[in-house]
Amino acid sequence: MLRSELIAVLADKFPELLKADVETSVATILDGIANQVSRNGRVEIRGFGSFQMNHRPERNARNPRTGERLVTPATVCPHFKAGKALREGVDC
């Protein structure tokens, strides 16, 4: 589902709200999640899942084409872990 599709679904479900208000609400929620996670915070939405930063340490690797050994640098990337209700809902 795209952001625009989410906005359309919410606007249809709540006809008393203006589409612009729904767009602002969705943008505010997503920006809030992104800001909190980018500050190494954790965002948990019960029944849905949690967002947090995943720290990957430096490691040794190999170029498969040349066989040359190299070191991949440490990285930090966002990570989502699905909650129990979501996992059960999609039957993984």
Tens digit of pLDDT for each residue in 22-68?
999 999 999 999 999 999 889 999 999 999 999 999 999 999 999 99
How many beta carbons lie within 10 A of that of residue 7, not counting itself?
18
Strands (E), the chain: 43-45, 49-56, 59-62, 69-72, 75-82
CB distance 9 to 26 below 8 Å: no
| Shared domain check, 48 and 75 | yes
pLDDT at 91 over 90: no
Owning domain of residue 60: 42-92
| Shared domain check, 46 and 91 | yes
Q: How far apart are CA 34 and CA 54, in angstroms?
A: 14
pTM beyond 0.85: the answer is no
Q: Give the number of domains in the chain.
A: 2
| Shared domain check, 52 and 35 | no
Once rounded to an integer, what is the mean pLDDT over residues 70-91?
92
| Shared domain check, 29 and 63 | no
| Shared domain check, 34 and 46 | no
